Chains A and B, each alone.
Chain A
């Protein structure tokens, strides 16, 4: 793949004229997907896809195009040469772009991840064997992912990995379920068995009569999966420079010093410990770590090359979306084993769902509890809880009402598969929070 891409890019660059600069990015996957419902297979199949993006630049004018690749060099070159000619013809009709920026220092790199993943056939056997007797629903995805970049200044970057991601739920009945994920680059049967056993134990707890609460404020424990979703919402326009400068970031008050989070809260884009490429489409290399929130206060923004030019701040290799891809929420001091005891009487929230903003400037979010959420009494799980809607500001839940973050964190490999399998990830602690507001 890497050689094929470099050869294709090289052949395209050989046709450049005058001062033209060409940026090429490739992305692709060769994946298998197996979808389960009620322990049986709903759909199973394979997707082999590869696409290329071209950005032709002359002076401050530029035009971009993307196209799928067949993988056959001659076929693809024959399709891409006219595409390049089309871009060349468009350039004079486009205005100069004051915010155009691309990497001009050459930083080539390559990263190949080692992996030992089961064949999809083996995975189906293991899953069906382990899940026998359960109402299992979810998806198993596995295979290779690759991303590459090349520019006519001589830079070449490559990233490829093989991994699997089994994202599933055990259902009891109705909406009572336990959600679990097992993902990585090496399948370890004992680790998988532990996940299954833990989910089965939680499923047993769901068999008790459900508890219903009235809307109001409650002491809660937000498990790492819930923190993942909350930080995921913040990542949607929260950390980027453009969102801050245009007043659209929910963290604007934090950035302006009008609000703060608890001192225990530190969030970083940790590319060094993530699973995403360390380069982006304009050829910039990401630093190993960008602190976003440090000690409860705003640190740095994610700055794309375009925002860098618009707002005169150096880029830190962020993508155009300016969203973190390797999230690192710092651990706290609360041992996992003490979570229920410290919660005392309150709600253990296993997951939250469908988050959005109910007041963006106030960073007030709303969402639902979902999966494995329990009423806890005197440090013991007492009953499953019917789903509840919450409406709470991040400044309260991770600020004045935060009791503590757990010392242990969970690694979440994003199971997202829009367009293609994601490479984003994060490490999240759980959070003990007072006076968490449930509304419906």
Chain B
């Protein structure tokens, strides 16, 4: 199956690396082994930051390696190496095959039953303003300027503006004849201010850890990076003087930079099929969702529509193929509140006998693919922000996640935000600090009573989703409009 996404000019060096890996894979694949794949990852990063007027250490990173996976005799084994010579890859192939043979008959499934269709295709992140098109000094100035704008008051004792640029190139090859070449580029900016009075501190940030997208420097414009600093400083100072969030059961209106966390923890994780199958029970946890709920379970109100969409341009976890080389397509996960399918990659789908999505992903060349979220988005409704506020007699508007905790079944949660405002008689009123709320996933989404329109919708993501044994930290995209939930338990500080 041939799929082609936007893959423009490929530098000669890229072609050389790929060509070398293809010939080396041919030499390294253990002869006679059932099925062998190679996943090569070349990831380059550059980190720049300015903190309270002082440049932080500048750093570049280059992380290059490959993993060979062998499925043989029903078993599975992998070996990852940063030695990309023929002999290094051959040694990896030998170790992977030894593990495959050792696990034959002992594995959770008969891996020889997994289907392996040959896939080929490419994917490349669309980039409007390449990272390399702007000089280092200019980038530093773009970080220094917001820091200066945040130093508006002696009570602002810390401020920062940072960005991490990441470019990665991956190549997937297997003995079924697959060849998948993908190139990603992303920017993860971060900005914040801390206001302190005595031992009370308040911080405001640019979407917490959620400001992250694929693309080049145009991501800064998309996120309003150059304009947001004065507001962050002002709101940090406002919070310092604000009363605590009230305690009680009331309506909440959640901004997109809190909604992404709500989606992530209480929809995304519970729907990961490997959790449902029990793989994560010792670490990341299990799920309150069981296989028999798929297709019938009412996850939320009729207003709840959630899509798994790796095809959305510019979102943090967009791709053409997952790390098992399977093509990725947009799918409805929850439609009008009804759970349609889980987030399970090829291996989990085979084990469970269920439909899933192509979401077998690895955090790098040195970790094996497991079921992960990619872009998991809540679709827009038809209410303007003003209409949502006006519909609330008593409530709290909360923005920007600052605290997250949920049980191992992904059911009982408690989340906190940086910034809150009371809603009284359909109007935003007093700023309140330390807004927290708690609930239960299985019922929370059924109280979704209002969904914002396109103008309230924001495309965000998180670079830090942890899971797996061995542990893996992966990048996940989420997008959401502003959402209104009825009758939620809210509270403030101690």
Give the interface of A toward B (CB within 8 A): 31, 33, 35, 37-38, 40-51, 55, 62-72, 75, 83, 86, 90, 93-95, 97-99, 121, 124, 128, 137-139, 141, 167-169, 171, 174-175, 177, 179, 245-248, 252-253, 256, 258, 353-362, 364, 366-368, 370, 387, 389, 391, 393, 416-418, 421, 439-440
Contact = CB atoms under 8 A, between A and B. Distances in A.
B329 to A, nearest CB: 26
B429 interface: no
A246 B194 contact: yes
Contact of A42 (B79, B83, B279): B279
A45 B140 contact: no
Nearest to B46: A65
Given A65-B59, A68-B62, A358 B436 contact: yes
B494 A362 contact: yes
Contacts of A370: 285, 407-408
Nearest to B277: A37
A356 B82 CA distance: 36
B80 A358 contact: no
13 contacts: A45-B69, A45-B96, A46-B96, A49-B81, A68-B82, A95-B55, A95-B140, A138-B469, A139-B469, A354-B404, A370-B407, A418-B472, A439-B414
Closest 5 CB pairs of A and B: A247-B201, A45-B78, A362-B494, A139-B469, A417-B470
Contact of A253 (B55, B58, B199): B199
Contacts of A357: 403, 416
B145 interface: no
Contacts of A35: 279, 469-470
Interface in B45-94: 54-55, 57-65, 67, 69, 75-85, 88, 92
Nearest to A422: B471
B481 interface: no
B18 interface: no
Contact of B405 (A37, A67, A168, A354): A354
B493 interface: yes
Contact of A366 (B102, B107, B414): B414
Contact of B403 (A40, A43, A353, A358): A358
Contact of A364 (B409, B466, B494): B494
A44 B473 CA distance: 19
B59 A66 contact: yes
A83 B64 CA distance: 14
B409 A175 contact: yes
Contact of A168 (B277, B282, B471): B282
B80 A137 contact: no
Nearest to B494: A362
A197 to B, nearest CB: 19
B248 interface: no
Given A35-B279, A247-B200, A368-B408, 19 more contacts: A33-B470, A44-B76, A44-B99, A45-B95, A46-B79, A62-B57, A66-B62, A70-B84, A83-B62, A121-B102, A137-B281, A139-B469, A245-B157, A247-B158, A252-B199, A256-B199, A353-B285, A356-B403, A361-B200
Contact of A46 (B54, B60, B63, B80): B80
Given A354-B407, A440-B412, A41 B108 contact: yes
Contact of A45 (B77, B82, B404): B77
Contact of B78 (A43, A360, A439): A43
A93 B81 contact: no
Contacts of A62: 57
A44 B77 contact: yes
Contact of B107 (A31, A41, A66, A389): A41
A171 B79 contact: no
Contacts of B404: 354, 356
A389 B201 contact: no
B84 A47 contact: no
B201 A48 contact: no
B403 A46 contact: no
A100 B436 CA distance: 39
A129 to B, nearest CB: 12
A393 B158 CA distance: 25
Nearest to B493: A359
B78 A46 contact: yes
A46 B91 CA distance: 11
A304 B203 CA distance: 23
B26 interface: no
Contacts of A137: 278-279, 281-282
Contacts of A421: 470
Interface in B435-494: 436, 438, 440, 466, 469-473, 492-494
B282 A167 contact: yes
A139 B403 CA distance: 28
B78 to A, nearest CB: 3
Contacts of B76: 41, 43-44
B469 A97 contact: no
Given A40-B106, A72-B85, A47 B203 contact: no
A90 B58 CA distance: 10
Contact of A68 (B64, B92, B286, B407): B64
B136 interface: yes
B60 A64 contact: yes
B82 A440 contact: no
Nearest to A253: B199
B55 to A, nearest CB: 5
Contacts of B434: 358-359
B187 to A, nearest CB: 19
A355 B405 contact: yes
A67 B44 CA distance: 9
Nearest to B411: A387
A89 to B, nearest CB: 10
A43 B79 contact: no
Contact of B281 (A48, A171, A245, A366): A171
A169 B282 contact: yes
Nearest to A421: B470
B414 A440 contact: yes
A362 B416 CA distance: 14
B368 interface: yes
B391 to A, nearest CB: 27
A71 B201 contact: no
Contacts of B414: 356, 358, 366, 389, 391, 439-440
Contact of B157 (A97, A247, A253, A354): A247
Given A48-B83, A248-B194, A68 B63 contact: yes
Pick from A45, A46, A245 the residue with the most CB of B within 10 Å: A45
Contacts of A95: 55, 140
Contacts of B137: 93
B196 interface: yes
Nearest to B95: A46
Contact of A417 (B75, B278, B408, B469): B469
Contact of B282 (A64, A93, A139): A139
B78 A440 contact: no
B112 interface: no
Contact of B368 (A43, A70, A359): A43
B103 interface: yes
A49 B108 contact: no
B315 interface: no
Given A45-B368, A356-B405, A387-B408, A94 B55 contact: yes
B409 A93 contact: no
A368 B96 CA distance: 38
Contacts of B408: 175, 353-354, 368, 370, 387
A359 B67 CA distance: 43
Nearest to B104: A41
B400 interface: no
A367 to B, nearest CB: 6
B103 A63 contact: no
A69 B67 CA distance: 15
A48 B108 contact: no
Given A64-B57, A258-B199, A45 B65 contact: no
